[in-house]
Amino acid sequence: MDGNRGSGRSTSTHRHDDHHHEHHQGGRRRLRHLLTPHRHDAGDKVDAAMEASRDGMRTLWISLAVLGATAAAQAVIVVLSGSVALLGDTVHNTADALTSVPLGIAFVLGRRAPNRRYTYGYGRAEDLAGVLIVLVIAASAALAAWAAVDRLLHPREVTHLWAVCAAALTGFAGNEWVARLRIRTGRRIGSAALVADGLHARTDGFTSLAVLLGAAGAAAGLRAADPVVGLLITLAILLVLKDAAREVYHRLMDCVDPALVDTAEHALREVPGVLGVGQLRMRWIGHALRAEADIVVGPHLTVVQAHGLALAAEHALIRAIPRMTAATVHTDHPALADHLAA
């Protein structure tokens, strides 16, 4: 509680895995629990967070296997054909498969319990993994561009065109399947990094189809067609880089959807006994949401009553906002709220 808010103000801050301990600390706290029982909801949220991590890990391992197999098959065709467009696609698919590694590490770290040094836990590791993914995308774009420019300067005939076409179709199918899996899982568990990785894979799928254009041009005797398509693939990589970087930047800057804030405010106002809502802050930590809110309550409530009302407000937030696992609710009486607003 801030010093300038000490008068007439009650604070309720909850770590959900501490409720059982608190229930044994005196008659007043037992009365608080009777006023607003809350252990069951907390356990559900903790279980949901763990299930989200398991879903994320499962998705990453499947992605690594599918894209790894796709890239390996394409690499064989690159050696046989000498297609620089297919090389760029293979490099990008390889990088996309390898991004599963830092994300997997982040999901494992995110399961670690908070401690006195990392009091919010290790969920931010997921956002750091998102930064690494952006860097990998940028590096793959640079490599694809270099290979394409080098082939323009040093033309070479592309062979085994039928195999190049088959590899392109394989790349599209593998990437699109992985993209749908990653995006669906990422949105369900609230992982911006996993969604960004899914968008990355989706663009890879369309760049795989672009390899067909290079093969068609080579079949028509146009040597420049293959490296030109390689440059187009580089451009596509840069576009997905922009989208992924924006997604990760928003998460690092604690950006949330304004619609979530509106929903949270509405949920707080609907709690019986809440006279108004003051400051409301929300932030993502990994794929879980946390909130801090100020509510205005009646000036004649006892400490226990105000505390119970804060608990009810906290539960309203958790029920109303998907993937919210914790909230801190402060109570103000009307006179203090008006003073702070002024």
Flag residues of the chain having pLDDT under 50: 1-50, 340
Nearest-5° Cα angle at 106, 285 to 188 = 60
Burial of residue 334 (number of CB atoms within 10 Å: 0-12, 13-18, 19+): middle
Give dist(CA 60, CA 77) in Å, integer. Answer: 26
Phi, psi of 289 (to 5 degrees): -100, 145
User: Which of the following CATH numbers is that of domain 53-252: 1.10.3720.10, 1.20.1510.10, 2.40.160.10, 3.60.20.40?
Assistant: 1.20.1510.10
Residue 227's pLDDT is 82
| Topology at the third CATH level for domain 3-35+256-341 | Alpha-Beta Plaits (3.30.70)
Give dist(CA 122, CA 32) in Å, integer. Answer: 31
Q: SS3 sequence, the chain?
A: CCHHHCCCEEEEECCHHHHHHHCCCCHHHHHHHHHCCCHHHHHHHHHHHHHHHHHHHHHHHHHHHHHHHHHHHHHHHHHHHCCHHHHHHHHHHHHHHHCHHHHHHHHHHHCCCCCCCCCCCCCCHHHHHHHHHHHHHHHHHHHHHHHHHHHHHCCCCCCCHHHHHHHHHHHHHHHHHHHHHHHHHHHHHCCHHHHHHHHHHHHHHHHHHHHHHHHHHHHCCCCCHHHHHHHHHHHHHHHHHHHHHHHHHHHHCCCCCHHHHHHHHHHHHCCCCCCEEEEEEEEEECCEEEEEEEEECCCCCCHHHHHHHHHHHHHHHHHHCCCEEEEEEEEECHHHHHHHHC
Residue 281's pLDDT is 94
Bridge partners for 330 per DSSP: 11, 294
Question: Tokens representing 52?
Answer: 């989200």
Residue 210's pLDDT is 79
Structural domain spans, the chain: 3-35+256-341, 53-252
Bridge partners for 12 per DSSP: 329
Give dist(CA 258, CA 261) in Å, integer. Answer: 5
Give dist(CA 64, CA 82) in Å, integer. Answer: 25
| CB 77 within 8 Å of CB 83 | yes
